[in-house]
Amino acid sequence: MPRSVASRQAIAVIRHAAHLAIASTLVLGVPFGATDNVSHMTLMALKVTLHEEAGITTVKLEGRLARPWLNELDRTWQSLSPSLGSKKLVIDVCGLTYMDGDAKLLLAEMFKKTGARFLADTPMTKYFAEEAQR
């Protein structure tokens, strides 16, 4: 069945938005998303935020935890790990919208090496946290 003109245009807009997100993240070095000028839709890849206070380091994750954006968390973890010492690690997954198998393995490594505590607030993010602690 042939697609309508409106349907083809909608698919083109979605593809354009996806290309902008990938280009801005990988080529332009804008790590947290891009704005599609056609649809005015904001796309977030992955945002990693570190917050340190007395004896606690929090890693806050927002967006999609999957390749190629997973590399950002891996780099953060590799630089953070040696400096933790006796600090407690908290991994805030409240802002995650997706997690793939490789992400689960990285979070599991972080948990096993530090005994990190997970912050999760929805059934989906609680599931992500439980999977990482298996």
Query: Do residues 73 and 38 both lie within one domain?
Result: no
pLDDT in tens, 66-114: 988 898 899 999 999 998 988 999 999 999 999 999 999 999 999 999 9
Query: Do residues 64 and 28 both lie within one domain?
Result: no
H-assigned helices in the chain: 5-26, 70-80, 101-114, 123-132
Number of domains within the chain: 2
Question: What is the distance in angstroms between the CA of the first residue and the CA of the last residue of the chain?
Answer: 47
Q: What is the mean pLDDT of residues 42-56?
A: 83
Query: Do residues 54 and 70 both lie within one domain?
Result: yes
Domain ranges, residue 11: 5-43
Indicate the pTM of the whole model: 0.67
Query: Do residues 71 and 115 both lie within one domain?
Result: yes
pLDDT over 60 at 115, yes or no? yes
DSSP calls for 30-75? -TT-EE-TTT--EE--EEEEEEEETTEEEEEEEEEE-TTTHHHHHH
pLDDT in tens, 16-29: 444 444 433 333 33
Q: What is the mean pLDDT of residues 3-17?
A: 47
Query: Do residues 92 and 123 both lie within one domain?
Result: yes
Query: Do residues 111 and 88 both lie within one domain?
Result: yes
